[in-house]
Structure 1
Amino acid sequence: MPLTIAICDDNKAQIKELNRLLEKWSADKPLDLNIDEYISAESFLFGYADKPCDILLLDIEMSGINGMELARKLRANGDMLPIVFITGYSDYISEGYDVEALHYLIKPVNESKFFAVLDKFTQRNTVSEQIILPCGSETLRISPERITYVEAQGRRTAVHFSGGQMFDCNMSISRFEDMVIHGFVHCHRSYLVNLRYVRSITKTDIILDNNTTVPISRRLYNEVNTQFIKFYTGEK
Structure 2
Amino acid sequence: MHIAVCDDNIADRKQMQRLLERASDANKKNGLEGFFIDLYGNIPSLMQTPQMYDGIFIDMTNISESGMNGIEVARSLRKINVSGKIILCSSAIDYESLATDEEKEVFIFMTKPILKNRLREVLDICEESRSNKEPLIELRDDNGTIYVNGNDILYAHCKNGGGRIEIKLVDGQIITILSTIYMFYEDLEPFYYLLPASDLTIINIRHIQKTKAFSVIMDDGHKFWLSLEFNKHIKEQLKKEKGL
Pick the TM interval, shorter chain: 0.5 to 0.7
What's the offset of the Cα at 1:16?
A: 0.9
Instruction: Work out the number of aligned pairs and report it.
Output: 194
Amino acid at match of 1:62: N
Show CA shifts across 1:10-41 (max 9, x none).
01111111111111112224325322211122
1:122 to 115, 119, 127: 127
Q: In the alignment, does 2:32 pair up with 1:34?
A: no
Amino acid at match of 1:40: N
Matched residue, 1:180? 190
What's the offset of the Cα at 1:108?
A: 0.2
Matched residue, 2:202? 191
> What is the SS of the residue equivalent to 1:85?
strand
Q: In the alignment, does 2:2 pair up with 1:4?
A: yes
Show CA shifts across 1:146-197 (max 9, x none).
996596879x998x9xxx997969x7555545x435xx6316534376x9xx
In 1, Cα distance between the equivalents of 2:151 and 2:45?
A: 22
Q: In the alignment, does 2:57 pair up with 1:43?
A: no
Unaligned runs of 5+ in 2: 139-146, 168-174, 211-216, 227-233
In 2, Cα distance between the equivalents of 1:130 and 1:76?
A: 17
Is the alpha carbon distance of 1:73 and 1:130 closer, same or farther for their aligned partners in structure 2, counting shifts above 3 Å?
Answer: closer
Matched residue, 1:87? 90
Amino acid at match of 1:119: D
Unaligned runs of 5+ in 1: 134-142, 207-214, 231-236
Matched residue, 2:52? 52
Matched residue, 1:209? none
In 2, Cα distance between the equivalents of 1:75 and 1:90?
A: 20
RCO (CA 8 Å, sep 6+): is it higher in 1 or 2? 1
Contact kept? 1:85, 1:103, Cα under 8 Å? yes
Moved more, 105-114 or 120-129: 120-129
Q: In the alignment, does 2:74 pair up with 1:76?
A: no
With structure 1 as the length reference, what TM-score do the two structures score? 0.57
> What is the SS of the residue equivalent to 2:73?
helix
In 2, Cα distance between the equivalents of 1:87 and 1:5?
A: 18
Is the alpha carbon distance of 1:81 and 1:125 closer, same or farther for their aligned partners in structure 2, counting shifts above 3 Å?
Answer: closer
Show CA shifts across 1:103-161 (max 9, x none).
10000001100111111221244477779x9xxxxxxxxx986996596879x998x9x
Contact kept? 2:2, 2:35, Cα under 8 Å? yes
Is the alpha carbon distance of 1:125 and 1:65 closer, same or farther for their aligned partners in structure 2, counting shifts above 3 Å?
Answer: closer
Aligned identity (percent) is: 22
> What is the SS of the residue equivalent to 1:117?
helix
Higher helix share: 2
Show CA shifts across 1:37-71 (max 9, x none).
111224322x337x732221111423221111112
Contact kept? 2:60, 2:68, Cα under 8 Å? no
